[in-house]
């Protein structure tokens, strides 16, 4: 029995080591592919991304980048193969949305999208720090937890919600610009326009839910007599990159936002 237990432990350790090795290899291949893509070595980039997919075939972001590489090589058939797979893997996520619109442009015979319209080579939250890390995260984390008060549990919950949505907020301005550009080119096709409008509506709901979480946090701070923290929670929305570069009307339309500005504004 003891020998069998030892064998089981060793098997688990070896399995964990194998998984860690595969994850490290996949990350290295992804980074290698991204570097090649940025250097405009699209053939090399495609090779790296396809190899990475051999280690993890269900990664939507790697599928998206493989599709973009083949698009740049002029191989639209293979580009669509990988872009559609990215959409299937992550239809509601940001990589899937970028992949969907790039595929849509190919299918409609539109001109080759600019790098901005195809999405960044290094996607927010994958390799390089984005506004999600540089701007949102430190401001969310420094908001007080109100430990020892009755509101502490709810405060922690709201802060977790804000942190979880930081990359979506960081990517939203670029997503909206991409949708706007696609809408301008697809006015003659009702179905794609409907799809784009639906995606914009989803972004609006996501942004408003995030803003409402921050405003709810401001109310909790105010209720505990912490006016400074309440102002910081409102400023998290008011001064955000989304309000500067995105669609501020999505937030200013919220009655709770207007009320918060009156009560906790500068």
Which is more confidently placed, 118 or 82? Answer: 82
Of 72, 88, 89, 71, the residue nearest 80 (C-alpha): 71
Tens-place pLDDT, residues 52-70: 998 888 888 899 899 989 9
What domain range is 206 assigned to?
131-264
- pLDDT of res. 5: 53
Tens-place pLDDT, residues 1-40: 444 555 454 444 445 444 444 545 556 788 888 888 888 8
Which is more confidently placed, 142 or 3? Answer: 142
Q: Is residue 191 part of a domain?
A: yes
What is the mean predicted confidence (pLDDT) over 210-221? 96
Instruction: Name the domain count of the chain.
Output: 2
- pLDDT of res. 157: 96
Identify whether residues 68 and 108 lie together within a single domain.
yes
Q: Is residue 25 part of a domain?
A: no
Q: Is residue 198 part of a domain?
A: yes
Identify whether residues 115 and 135 lie together within a single domain.
no
What's the pLDDT band for 128 if we cut at 50, 70, 90?
A: very low
């Amino acid at each position: 029995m003891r020998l069998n237990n030892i064998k089981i432990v060793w098997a688990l350790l070896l399995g964990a080591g194998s998984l860690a090795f595969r994850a490290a290899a996949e990350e290295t291949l992804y980074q290698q592919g991204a570097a090649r893509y940025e250097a405009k070595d699209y053939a090399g980039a495609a090779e790296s991304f396809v190899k990475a997919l051999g280690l993890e075939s269900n990664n939507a972001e790697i599928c998206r980048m493989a599709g973009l590489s083949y698009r740049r090589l002029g191989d639209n058939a293979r580009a669509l193969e990988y872009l559609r797979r990215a959409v299937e893997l992550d239809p509601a996520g940001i990589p899937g949305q970028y992949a969907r619109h790039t595929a849509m442009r190919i299918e409609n015979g539109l001109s080759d999208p600019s790098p901005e319209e195809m999405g960044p080579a290094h996607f927010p939250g994958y390799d390089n720090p984005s506004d999600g890390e540089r701007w949102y995260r430190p401001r969310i984390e420094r908001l007080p937890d109100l430990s020892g008060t009755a509101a502490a549990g709810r405060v922690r919950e709201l802060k977790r919600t804000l942190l979880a949505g930081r990359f979506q907020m960081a990517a939203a301005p670029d997503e909206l610009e991409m949708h706007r550009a696609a809408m301008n080119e697809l006015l003659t096709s009702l179905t794609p326009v409907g799809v784009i409008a639906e995606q914009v509506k989803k972004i609006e709901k996501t942004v408003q839910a995030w803003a409402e979480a921050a405003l709810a946090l401001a109310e909790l701070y105010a209720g505990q007599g912490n006016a400074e923290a309440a102002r910081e929670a409102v400023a998290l929305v008011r001064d955000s990159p989304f309000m500067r570069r995105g669609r501020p009307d999505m937030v200013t339309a919220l009655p709770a936002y207007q009320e918060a500005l009156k009560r906790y504004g500068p």
